[in-house]
Structure 1
Amino acid sequence: MMYKGKNYKIQYRRLFLLLFLAVTLLSSILFGASYIIAQMQPIEKKPLAIYTKHTSIRSDSVKDADQIIAHYFPKGKNPPPKPPIKTDRKIVALTFDDGPGYESTDRILNTLKRHDVKATFFVLGSKVEQNPEMLKKIHNEGHEIASHSYSHPNLTKLKGEEINQQIKQTNTSIKNTIGTDTIYLRPPYGAYNKEVEDISKQKIILWNVDSQDWQLRDTEKIKNHVLGSLKPQSIVLFHDIYNSSADAVEKIIPELKKQGYEFVTTSQYIEIMEPK
């Protein structure tokens, strides 16, 4: 009896071992099949955020990395940039907006004449009509004259016909006063768009150094700001309607000459920086 009972125990152990092996094998088969099926499924692309200064530029309409790259870095939309102009010349164009004024403009003209400097005056058509004699003096002393609109509105806020009126009235006022047309436009506030360009048919001229004279109204502060902001090739924005600007220009010109700057008009600046 003892031998028979021992035999049963051996058989039970074998049966248990077989069951364990069968379960293990079945689990392995099922897991392997699941893994293979998962690998056969297409991989879903996860949204990708591109960060600039810790700010995501991903919008809800952009679903994955490929779309983000195509959306924010499109191919073929922008023309290749022009090669930078290489010049060692230190040039500066002094430009004056919002005139012609009266005493302040006259003082600026006297300073320019004394230092043999030619500048560009971006005039308002309404001011030309108020003070045509000053425009004639600017022109007769060899300075360049360009448009700054008729009444200084933000041209991008106007309708097409209103833009045209601002441009046309100013051009007419200038031509009636000095007999010549102007080919340049400095839009008020530097604000312009394609519609302004198309309607004006004039070359848009901005600046890369703002004297801040309209805000500072202090001779020394204006002078220090300009001298501290100069670039090797600069177009400096002044307003010839402030006496503080006239005082500042009188101090700035000698300093620029000491630094080796060549004074040019807007046309001369363009010829140097955008050679044909």
Structure 2
Amino acid sequence: MPTQLSVNVNKIAVLRNSRGGGEPDPLRAAKTCIAAGANGITVHPRPDRRHIVAEDVYRLRDLCRGAVELNIEGNPFAPARPGYPGLIPLAEATRPEQCTLVPDADGQITSDHGFDLARDAERLRPLIAALKQVGCRVSLFIDAGTEQLDIARDIGADRIEIYTGPFAEAHAAGTVAPALADCARTARAAQAAGLGVNAGHDLSQSNLEDFLVGVPEVLEVSIGHALFSEAIYAGLDATVRRYLALTGAT
């Protein structure tokens, strides 16, 4: 089964917000990605509204509905505040096909670690149940090397997303074997527990093929920063098509 490509359009919103106004438009970028064959669109609205905002999510929900998967990422523990309704209420209002829970703090530049399931499981359990109630598939952001994933299954998760930042760093440094082995071990543990496996963070054209060869049966990769960086030079349509060729999802 080919690995699905979900394009994270946050970076388009970062550029828009740096200037104000409506350009570049994440909706238009998402339309281009979908036309090129992307299997899904990912967004990660944060409480400080520094990139994708709740208003964007509603627009993208309308665009994706019946066409491709919408995946909303975020910290389920972050409280609502003006301009940010909270992850669970936003998911309840938009009913994305997938909701990926990520333990990022408000001030983080980007996500950089997975859940501590031993600590967080009971807090996550009712939130996962609420998402499942509105039809969301639920994925948990997990560090590579984690093996005790029966907990994730027992609290209702459907999938995990392997945090691939350390793999990407090791790949760039030419010392990839241990990091790739950690990813593969976590994928096997998840699959043995009956969970699907997604992956994301710093995956790029230079490392994606090696990752997918070393970590079999990955259902979905979420890619944003590298894809839009590469698209500056090669164009968005062409870049999406190159990723689809790497994942086999063409």
Q: Same fold (TM over 0.5)?
A: no
- Greater helix fraction, Structure 1 or Structure 2: 1
TM-score (norm 1): 0.40
TM-score (norm 2): 0.43
